[in-house]
């Protein structure tokens, strides 16, 4: 069954369910920050005529691994890809397993957040449903 949820709405729910996360535009895109300083996810819309996607921080080696495993869903984003960031397409229902995408977002948070905030992450981890319930 196709998932018809709005990608920006779902991404926003997941990001804002994490400790001390704020949202504001950056480079004309909705972007999520930890403690209003460190970027960990950015929704890029149809940037430069490309597909609807988000870019996020990733643990070392993860971006390259996911891109090589599934280049139809993952890509190396411009500007930040050289720093290990991951691009994730969200423009087709097949791309949107929101529980998997929530895991990717939480991993992005873990890659950027200070240790004190990592200790505040919920257990069990954020899922798309738990993020929706929190709003």
- Please give the pLDDT value at position 78: 86
In a domain, 35, yes or no: yes
In a domain, 1, yes or no: no
Mean pLDDT of 25-53: 88
117 to each of 61, 97, 110, how far by Cα in Å?
A: 23, 26, 9
Number of domains in the chain: 1
CATH number for the domain harbouring residue 40 = 3.90.1150.30
pTM: 0.87
Tens of pLDDT along 67-99?
999 999 999 998 888 888 999 999 877 768 899
Query: What are the DSSP calls for 49-77, one per residue?
Result: G--SEEEE---TTHHHHHHHH-TTTEE--
- Please give the pLDDT value at position 83: 87
In a domain, 127, yes or no: yes
Backbone angles phi, psi at 86, to 5 degrees: -120, 140
Range of the domain at 88: 7-134
Cis upstream peptide for 86 (omega within 30°): no
Six token digits for residue 10: 């779902």
In a domain, 33, yes or no: yes
In a domain, 124, yes or no: yes
In a domain, 63, yes or no: yes
């Amino acid at each position: 069954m196709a998932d018809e949820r709005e990608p920006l709405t779902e991404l926003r729910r997941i990001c804002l369910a994490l400790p001390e996360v704020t949202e504001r535009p950056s480079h004309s895109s909705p972007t999520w920050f930890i403690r209003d300083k460190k970027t960990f996810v950015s929704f890029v819309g149809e940037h430069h005529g490309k597909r609807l996607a988000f870019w996020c921080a990733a643990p070392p080696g993860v971006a390259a691994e996911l891109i090589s495993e599934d280049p139809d869903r993952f890509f190396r984003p411009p500007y930040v890809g050289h720093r290990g960031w991951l691009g994730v397409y969200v423009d087709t229902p097949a791309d949107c397993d929101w529980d998997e995408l929530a895991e990717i977002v939480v991993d992005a948070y873990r890659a950027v957040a200070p240790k004190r905030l990592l200790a505040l992450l919920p257990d069990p981890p954020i899922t798309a449903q738990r993020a929706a319930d929190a709003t």
